[in-house]
Structure 1
Amino acid sequence: MKYIVALGSVLLGVAACQSVQTTNPGEVGVTRQQSVSPLVNRGQLTQQANTQYKQVLQQAQKKNALNVDAALTARVRRIADRIIPQVSVFRPEAAKWQWEVNVLSSKELNAWCMPGGKIAFYSGLIETLQLNDDEIAAIMGHEIAHALREHAWERASQAANAGLGMTVAGILLGAQGYQMDMASMAYQVMFELPNSREHETEADRIGVELAARAGYNPAAAVTLWQKMGKQSSGGEPPQFLSTHPANADRQKDLTVYSQRVQGLYEQARR
């Protein structure tokens, strides 16, 4: 019995979350130490995210919903081409990621960036809200920030540790149930598990700096969320708003941080 308890203690110690810092603070000063679990292999998670991305594109292709509007696709990719080089400020190696940007024809108000730099924009987000380039850049920066900060890795770690107690006995008996099914986990963290409000605030702040450095007006992040707020009033909020900070609080925070990086925007525009 003591042997089993000792083994359990060792296992729990090994599985304990580790503190990491995925990005430099930038002008916006995002410095939070992040907790990740050794139960989740970051490299495998990224590989499976890439697989998920290919599947999404294949499904869209079958429905004739992949990059249907050539002008819109070119517009989104042009904005991404200006923002992506700025990621080196926060994370130098990210500039070498295999970035990819596609537009899916859908009325859904959504956009996302998977671990490793695979980006999707939904046409409904741009068309319904009648977004200008600065507002698209605000969303682009926000979603890229999630990837830079590896928020999906954090969410996967939380999910892994949440289920750890149920598998300890099996592990002690030699079972391999503790090893994460990365295909399932990649799907969950990208499409089912929502970001925390803390993650969203970090992505907002890093996003406005990325946009500003690329020469897009960071104040557009505020007008973007004003438009988003109108979409969510009187009913269920769009999926893009899931567990996000309260709209009024978000606009206040974005106003402060967009002003903080205003000089970067003015410098980029010279």
Structure 2
Amino acid sequence: MTTVNKIKNALLLTTITTLAGCTTIADMSGYDTATLNTDAAKSYSQVISQANSQGAVDNTSNTAVRVKRVFNRIKPYAVRANTTGVPFDWQITVIRSPELNAWAMPGGKMAFYTGIVEQLKLTDAEIAAIMGHEMTHALSEHGKKDAGQKILTGLAVQLGGAQLQAKTGLNDDALGLISDLGIDKPFSRSQESEADAGGLRLMAQAGYNPEAAVLVWKKMEAANGRSNTMATLMSTHPNSGQRIAKIQALLPTVMPIYQAAAKADTNSTNGVTTRTIKRR
């Protein structure tokens, strides 16, 4: 085993032994759920205010109408899925920008960029796949866990850094790269996988076909061309091929949820139609 691998494994071992405590560490350090949600709401207000001043907030286009329709359809299921103990004030803003992006802050403050819908020609179900994914990031408190993880990682490197440097001669940049590749990136990739799984369930509950999630990432792969090994290593997002394979493996567990929701929606629609005819 090389010296670099030994250092990497030592850092991993140090962090793994305390990783389960990331949320607790965040709470103790002032990053509790209520505080994070409040701070995120303030930041969100500033971001949207700036976008407004630049004329970038889109409330009227067909894209904006579609995104908000999908949001309102999924939102009740996101509310039910909240196990944080703190109610979320879910909001979404559509931002007119060519950027392929969407995000959710702690507490349910969201943004969807017109570029990701229009450039990828997303269907409503594909919008729902991205929407559910981002909602799950917020519901799973990934921002809070990241805060706790960074504290733990910083402590591990700080406590062990001097000894590691003395024994190996590696500088701070090298140690930082080891920490990043060995701890931060894999943890972030696991969050992405968790968000994919939660997003599939949310979209299925709302009556959107989860198979659309596969199509989203095929479109993203074509747009970004980021499926090589180095891109996977350096990115917080899983390789598109790996991501698609994991989503496909999850489909058998969420398709029955979608089918039940679609059936209920059909029955409800038929019931409304029948009553309308009778009144006539």
Counterpart of 2:245 (choices 243, 252, 255) is 252
Number of residue pairs matched? Answer: 216
| Displacement after TM superposition at 1:216 (Å) | 0.2
Unpaired segments ≥5 residues, structure 2: 1-16, 160-183, 264-280
2-side partners of 1:93 and 1:155: how far apart? 16
Q: For residues 133 and 207 of structure 1, what CA distance do their matches in structure 2 show?
A: 14
Equivalent pair of 1:36/1:153 in contact (CA under 8 Å): no
Per-residue CA deviations over 1:154-200 (Å, capped at 9, x if unaligned) read 111122233447999xxxxxxxxxxxxxxxxxxxxxxxx98710000
User: CA distance change for structure 1 residues 143 and 254 in 2, over 3 Å: closer, same or farther?
Assistant: same
In structure 1, stretches of 5+ residues that fail to align are 1-15, 21-33, 169-192
Q: Does 1:98 align with 2:118?
A: no
Equivalent of 1:52, from 13, 24, 43? 43
Q: Secondary structure at the match of 2:93?
A: strand
Tell me the residue number matched to 1:266. Answer: 259
Equivalent position SS for 1:196: helix
Higher helix share: 2
RMSD over aligned CA atoms reads 3.0
Alpha-carbon distance in 1 for matches of 2:145, 2:127: 26
Change in CA separation of 1:165 and 1:246 when aligned onto 2, cut-off 3 Å = closer
Say whether residues 1:198 and 2:187 are aligned partners: no
Q: What amino acid does structure 2 have at the position aligned with 1:201?
A: S
The one of 109, 124, 135 equivalent to 1:133 is 124
Q: TM-score, normalised by structure 2?
A: 0.69
> 1:242: how far off?
4.6
Task: Quote the Cα distance in structure 2 between the aligned partners of 1:50 and 1:112.
Answer: 13
Instruction: Describe the shift of the 1:94–1:213 C-alpha distance in structure 2 as closer, same or farther (beyond 3 A).
Output: farther
Query: Percent identity between the aligned chains?
Result: 38
Report the Cα offset of residue 82 of structure 1.
1.2
Find the counterpart in structure 2 of residue 224 from structure 1.
216
CA distance in 2 between counterparts of 1:222 and 1:53 reads 30
Residue 112 (structure 1) shift: 0.5
AA aligned to 1:120 is A
- Please say if 1:66 is aligned against 2:23: no
Q: What TM-score do you get using the length of structure 1 for normalisation?
A: 0.71
Matching residue within 132, 151, 155 for 1:160: 151
In our comparison, the structure showing a higher alpha carbon Rg is 2
Q: How does 1:159-178 map to 2 (within 5 A)?
A: 159-164=150-155
